[in-house]
Structure 1
Amino acid sequence: MQSNNFSSDSIVGTALLNMYGKCGTSQTARRVFDQIQDKNVISWNAMFTVYTQHNDIKAAFELFSLMEMQGFIPNEVTFITFLPACTSQGNIAEVKRIHTRILHHNFESSVNLENALLDAYGKFGYLQLAWSVFIRMPERDVISWNVMSEAYLYQALNDEAFYLFYQMQEEDTLPDDVSCVSVLSACVNKVTLMQAKRAHIMLIHSEDELDVIAGTALVNMYGKCGYLEGAQQVFEGMPNKNIISWNAMIGACAQHGCKSRSLHIFYKMLEKGVRPTDATFFSLLHACSHTGFVEEAYHSFLMMVYIHHLTPTVEHYNCMIDLLGRAGQLDEAEAMIHVMTCPTSAASWAALLGGCSLHSDIDCGIRIINQVIKTNPENAAPFVVLSNIFASLGRLEEAEELQILRKTISNQQDVSVDFDFCEGEYIVN
């Protein structure tokens, strides 16, 4: 079609370059664009879109300069097309350049465009510039408030995000689902029970019923501040639940050591036909670990593997190792490390060493030291723990020798050395 006059028509040519942009290359689309004789702003925007889809921001800006040179006036779509691409490439300089062009072309009154600019500054962490755009907007919609709130959340400024939720309603802007999730996110990391209840009341006033996202966030929030009754009330009142909702409720109970409650909700979930995930079983194991229920933990672990065919992660194994270590079953905990189907982590050995420290088991501690020396000799924590065990038993000479061993290892640089530590002495091979 490029060889005839069809592509020179603005409508047909624009459709063609859109097609080539999605299915071909930006170069092919540009050849079609260059053949369009009666270009309009839609044609230019289509070509800009092609370049941004192909992450060729430099070519897009060169085209923009050509557009202005030829006397075409960009519209808000032109700039809205550019901003996300600049953000994804981490190019704050181009965002500022676009901002200058927006001011030059007097587009400050466009809510959609200002929201896009606000979002870009927020994602770069330029909160002063974001706030400057926000506060000068002649009109704000719910998206404006949400984007500014998310900008604060990106920088962990939860109090500021929480305040915006109040301010939005004072200015008669009705919150939507995104607003509700934002305010709940602001509460999750740093929350008092009073704040949690106030957020809950605001959500009730802004929504007829809690959707699955807002409801789950509320369950998480109440769980964080230890108000399990509130979490349970929200959970049971949710008209729809997904696996994330169930996991949130199980996790809230597990976080506060309510093993029986966690298991009750888990089996209720199974009755409803909801399939558990690895996160479900991590919460169950976590609950059992902090309450010392070894048998229930084993049962959950085996159910995960053999009934639900889920592959345990290092976090699941570490939970089991920690539980067995706390219970004094150090041989079983050590055996768990050796049968792991995934690579061990420093946390795996740390969990086992914690059990050794709790039960003053030097033999197991020495085996861990030998293993750590081979795999991660820079890790000083096991040496400190075992040295403390020796000291607690009055074996001060061996505690001191262990510290000498640690310093010897730390001084070895670019040398492959095998160490073997025996009770009471260490041998450098």
Structure 2
Amino acid sequence: MPRPQFIFLPKQSIIKHLTHPSSSSSSSSSFSINSPPSLSHIADKCTSMHQLKQLHAHMIISARIHDNYAASRLLSFCALSDSGDINYAVKLFNYTQQPNNFMYNTMIRAQASAQNPLNAVLLFVQMRRMGVLPGKHTFPFLLKACSNAKSVDGCKQVHCYVIKFGLDFELYVVNGLVRGYCVSRCLSDARQVFDEIPERNLIIWASMICGYAQNNSSDEALLLFNRMLDHGIEPNGVILASVLSACAQDGCLMIGERIEKFMREKGTDWGVILGTALVHMYAKNGALGKAREVFDSMQQKNVVTWNAMIHGLAVHGHAESALTLFTKLEMEDIVPNGITFVAVLSACCHGGFLAEGRKFFSSMKQDYNIEPKLEHYGCMVDLLGRGGELIEAEQLIRDMEWKADVMIWGTLLSACRKCGNIEVAERVVEEILALDPQNHGVHVVLSNMYAETGRWDDVLNLRKVMKKGHLKKVPGWSSVNDGG
């Protein structure tokens, strides 16, 4: 495991940098620190990095930077606040001579949700090497990092420390272990931790149930949900919404139905979040009648609710109904987002509505200032390909701002085969091979297209290329569900 890259900034550099704030900073964000009643109190009142840097500079000049309590408040703002700066927090942390438990916890918590969660694990390693003892608040943050990184080895190593420090019955720590193992698809380890805890709260029950549902173990999820109810534990709205979201996959419809029945029996107020979770669950499982029933009964809906219903209709072959619902969304003055247009363009693909698809794609930028992303371009390429507009689809890919991937080129290649357009197919194959030189599948597709048009010399040449590159077609296989 590589050592974390820490940046040590000389004291003189910090003073020079912090005592001369950028001219672009608003003077209104300054505040007086000439006679502070408490440095930590002022740190808690900071609302911007400009203010915090002034306070930091004052602490350095007045030699009070080694007051760990006040410094920890600075660190907390930098690392955890929406207005903070994680890179500045790293510099501040590494300039601290003897970081305490709170400081380490703060940085581990921040890094757990950062781009590379395993940096939190490296901080924990440093923490132990420096002789700083972890506490019950350290491990939930550390386990969150392991969950975000989907590192089962990390979970197991942290689990050993949890047992070593006697925290294996601490509920928030246990919940972190259950969640970490579930995210890493180690359900047996998660269940063992779950079963060994003598008393469980609602969050731990939900983590284990969601873990089963998210890993396609719907039977176990249903049994555990019934067991929770048998223990007299009633889930609240937040937990029910979480479980319903986990049920939004094939095979979990019966769990969702059981939850809705429970909600009706208890007279639970659905609200926007819970109602949307129900719509999403039913729509994803193809129960469009029930999804629409819940959708229509909701007095309040947000754009996520509309997206769930439109997407459900689109992917299950009700393209016209999806587009009609989108028109109703606009009439209700609901502002669509990028996900909405993925659903709408998918509906156009399934329905073969080429003109409508072009209109909606243009409307994204012109009417709603939404920049199309790869998924939107993918839908349009699919739609144009189905409509036989291969040249337009190819030009769309070449003109888009995003770098095309193998998938989007592959969509066009599939359309070329259906239309029998070898000229475009040859250019597409070149693009795919430039991205993935070992992609033998495109050779096979092109070879079959040559064979279908009787171009046997080209078939022979292409097979020589495949043989020279030690490429061969992967034998096909089928899976059969025995209904068990």
* 1-structure distance, mates of 2:159, 2:250: 32
Q: Which residue of 2 aligns with 1:326?
A: 386
Number of the residue aligned with 1:98: 162
Matched, 1:82 2:135: no
Structure 2's unaligned 5+ residue stretches are 1-37, 40-66, 76-91, 109-122, 147-153, 472-484
CA contact (8 A) 2:140 2:172 kept: no
Map 1:27-426 to 2 at 5 A.
47-55=100-108, 56-57=123-124, 79-87=135-143, 88=145, 90=154, 92-102=156-166, 108=169, 113-124=170-181, 125=184, 127-153=187-213, 155-191=215-251, 193-206=253-266, 208-408=268-468
Between the aligned partners of 1:298 and 1:291, the Cα distance in structure 2 is: 13
Q: CA deviation at 1:316?
A: 1.3
Cα pair distance change 1:30/1:176, threshold 3 Å: farther
Which is further off, 155-164 or 308-317?
155-164
SS at match of 1:188: coil
1:305-335 superposed Cα distances (whole Å, 9 cap, x missing partner): 2111211112211211111111122222222
Q: How many residues align?
A: 366
Query: What is the match of residue 416 of structure 1?
Result: none
Separation in 2 of the partners of 1:130 and 1:144? 11
Q: CA deviation at 1:48?
A: 2.7
Find out whether 1:20 has 2:71 as its counterpart. Answer: yes
Q: Tell me how far apart the structure 2 counterparts of residues 365 and 373 of structure 1 sit (CA, whole Å).
A: 12
Amino acid at match of 1:349: W
Q: What's the secondary structure of 2:136's corresponding residue?
A: helix
Q: d(CA) in 1 for partners of 2:214 and 2:173? A: 16
Q: Decide whether aligned partners of structure 1 residues 20 and 388 sit closer, same or farther in structure 2, where only a CA change above 3 A counts.
A: same
What SS is found at the alignment partner of 2:364? Answer: helix
Alignment CA distance shift 1:361-1:130 (3 Å): closer
Q: Distance in 2 between matches of 1:289 and 1:383?
A: 27
Scaled by the length of structure 1, what TM-score is found?
A: 0.75
Instruction: For residue 270 of structure 1, report the CA deviation from its aligned partner.
Output: 1.5
Opposite residue 98 of structure 1, the aligned amino acid is: V
Distance 1:293 1:116, change over 3 A: same
Structure 2 CA distance, aligned partners of 1:351 and 1:65?
54
Q: Which structure 1 residue ranges, 5 or more long, are not aligned?
A: 1-5, 8-15, 34-46, 67-77, 412-429
Conserved? CA contact 2:319–2:351, under 8 Å: yes
Amino acid at match of 1:82: T
CA drift at 1:156 = 4.8
Distance 1:27 1:360 in 2: 62
Change in CA separation of 1:183 and 1:264 when aligned onto 2, cut-off 3 Å: same
Give the 3 Å change call, closer, same or farther, for CA 128–316 of structure 1 in structure 2.
closer
Deviation at residue 138 of structure 1 after TM alignment: 3.7
Distance in 1 between residues matched to 2:309 and 2:459, nearest whole Å: 45
2:51 aligned residue:
none
Q: CA RMSD in A?
A: 3.2
Provide the rounded CA distance (Å) in 2 between the counterparts of 1:28 and 1:358.
Answer: 63
How far off its partner does 1:303 sit? 0.7
CA contact (8 A) 1:48 1:81 kept: no
Q: CA deviation at 1:285?
A: 0.9
Distance 1:400 1:134 in 2: 61
Name the SS for the 2:294 alignment partner: helix
- Deviations 1:63-114 (CA, angstroms, capped at 9, x unpaired): 9888xxxxxxxxxxx84312123322646434323324327xxx94xxxx23
Indicate the percent of aligned positions where both proteins have the same amino acid: 30
After superposition, the Cα gap between the structure-2 partners of 1:22 and 1:377, relative to the gap in structure 1 and judged at 3 Å, is same
Q: Which moved more, 1:238-247 or 1:133-142?
A: 133-142
Partner of 1:418: none
